Amino acid sequence: MRTVALPRPIVLFTSCFAFALPFLVFQDTASARVKLITLPVRERVEIQLDNPHATLVEEERIVPLVKGENQVDFSWANTQIDPSTIVFRVISPLGDQQLDVKVLSVSYPPGEAALIWSVGASSSGSARVRISYLLGNLSKAFNYRAIAANDERTLVLSQYMRLQNLANEEFGSTGLWAGFGPRFLKPIGLNETKEMLMEKFRQVPISKTYTCNPQEYDYLDRAQNKLRVPMHYVLKNSKANNLGVAALPFGKVRIFIEGSGPQAGASTAFLGEDWGQFTPIDDEMKLFLGVAQDIVVKRTIDKNQTKRIGGNLYNHEIVLKYEIENFKDQPVTLDVVENIRHIRNEIRGDSGRDVQWELGRETTFPGGSDKEKTTFERAVFHAPLPARDENGNAKKVVHRLHLTLKNEW
């Protein structure tokens, strides 16, 4: 495509990016007043979104060149191209041409978002060139839509990529790739936001958990020693759970639940939303849905006995009692999580030292602590709770956690 020369401001009306090739070679670009310019159009655009912090745009154009030195102008007024990242690469000459093309130098005019490549060609002909640059204000984010089955055993997780184009530049049919998942070919308009379905994961098992953890979730009613019991959907990002293709990026998760009966899909209800944290393969994404009011946990410190070893060195025998009632119609398992340092601080203040502890014989949780999830100062137990009976009465389940805190001073 060849056109009569357009001064740069007029070019800018057609696009914020101008790519121009003067026919005549001027020694002094700044003082040139009359130019004949070709305007090679974009043949292909790829936007690489695989870097978490930057967006890379790659565009290809076919550039006609004359033998010898050629000037190729590139300008990007009103956009946030990082000029230090602009890379000009000659991909190939067109057809069977024997054309050797090299970039001789790059000149940067003062006060302009522009540069001029000086390109040497061994003979006249056209070359396919690729220009790559980082572009600001063209950003991506991820979000999810989860539709749980009515029995809350599985869900369908749809992952979307949302591309927001505030870069003040539009792109025609453009290849888009997030570093994983499918590659899209879409036009991207000015100030446009485009949401694309990345993956749809079906039959993802839900682990529905109820957890009390005074250090993390605090009390619901401190005066009555009632703990807050949040409910979570836990999704394991593994192949066995029909996920595990790639890490799940951070993003908002909107959670719905299907209704019951033959029109289940039509009566879907919104359950809530939470931020899904970055979840590597084999890790769990934990989504908070709300506080479970039907599970009541009363936590009291039943025993706090200090044993002096000598001088200012002590051991402490502590027994925590949990009175638990499940007013639900289904049996559930309650996860009881205790931060032992938090308990130590509760009974004798913070010494700043790690807490040394052992489980005592009075502990009643079945199976003891969860070995996989228990760490040096965090103990995890599981308490199965029966459903309430036919009369609506909940059975009170009582568990004790017996700890010996050693070598405290």
Partner 1 sequence: MKRSNLLLAVIITLLWTSVVPARNVDLSTVPPRNTVQLTIYNSEDLTLVRETRVVTFKQGANPLQFSWANTLIDPTSVELSFLTQPDKLDVLDTTFPHDKPHMLYWNVQSELDGEATIQITYFTSGITWSADYLCVADREETEMDLEGFVRVYNNSGEEYEDAQVRLVVGSINLVEKIAQLAQIPLKEVGNLQKKARKRLKLHAARRAMDRSEADSKAPAESAPKQIIKEGLSEYFIYTIEGTESISNGWSKRIRSFEGQAVPFQIEYRYRPQEYGDQLVRMYLLKNDVESKLGTTPLPDGVVKVFRDNGRDGLSYLTQQKIKYVPIGDKIELNLGVDPEVIFELIKRRAFRDNIWMRIGGTNKYQKVGDPRIVVEQKSEVAGWDDHSVYIQRIRNYSAKPIQVQVRRHYRGHVLFRSELNPKLHDYQTVEFQTPVPSGERTDLLFEIVVHQGYNAKQNNVTLENAELAP
| Interface residues toward partner 1, by CB under 8 A | 27-28, 30-31, 46, 48, 50-52, 54, 56, 58, 67-69, 84-85, 87, 100, 102-111, 120-122, 132, 134, 175, 177, 179, 183, 247, 278, 280-283, 308-313, 353-356, 375-377, 406-407, 409
117/144 with CB nearer partner 1: 117
Q: Could you tell me the smallest distance in angstroms from the CB atom of residue 177 to partner 1?
A: 7
373/395 with CB nearer partner 1: 373
* Distance of alpha carbon 40 from alpha carbon 20, whole angstroms: 7
- Edge-to-edge strand ranges of the sheet holding 396-408: 219-221, 226-227, 295-310, 313-326, 396-408, 356-359
64/272 with CB nearer partner 1: 64
Token representation of residue 401: 């956690």
Which stretches of 114-243 are assigned E, i.e. beta strand? 114-121, 125-134, 138-148, 154-165, 171-177, 184-188, 193-205, 207-212, 219-221, 226-227, 230-236
User: How far is residue 377 from each of residues 120, 163, 315, 322, measured CA to CA in Å?
Assistant: 68, 42, 16, 19
Q: Could you tell me the smallest distance in angstroms from the CB atom of residue 19 to partner 1?
A: 18
Q: Could you tell me the smallest distance in angstroms from the CB atom of residue 108 to partner 1?
A: 4
70/326 with CB nearer partner 1: 70
Q: Could you tell me the smallest distance in angstroms from the CB atom of residue 48 to partner 1?
A: 6
**Residues of 373-408 as b/e, b for ≥16 C-beta within 10 angstroms?**
ebeebbbbbbbebeebeeeeebeebebebbbbbeeb
Maximum distance among all alpha carbons in the chain? 97
* Distance of alpha carbon 337 from alpha carbon 344, whole angstroms: 15
131/255 with CB nearer partner 1: 131
122/364 with CB nearer partner 1: 122
Q: Could you tell me the smallest distance in angstroms from the CB atom of residue 393 to partner 1?
A: 42
What does residue 12 show for φ and ψ, rounded to 5 degrees?
A: -65, -20
39/176 with CB nearer partner 1: 176
Token representation of residue 99: 């054309």
Q: Could you tell me the smallest distance in angstroms from the CB atom of residue 179 to partner 1?
A: 8
* Distance of alpha carbon 370 from alpha carbon 388, whole angstroms: 26
210/381 with CB nearer partner 1: 381
SS3 214: helix
The residues pairing with 117 across neighbouring beta strands, listed in sequence order, are: 72, 106
Query: Residue 1 contacts by C-beta under 8 Å, 6 or more apart in sequence?
Result: 38, 39, 40, 41
Strands 284-291 and 396-408 turn out to be: unpaired
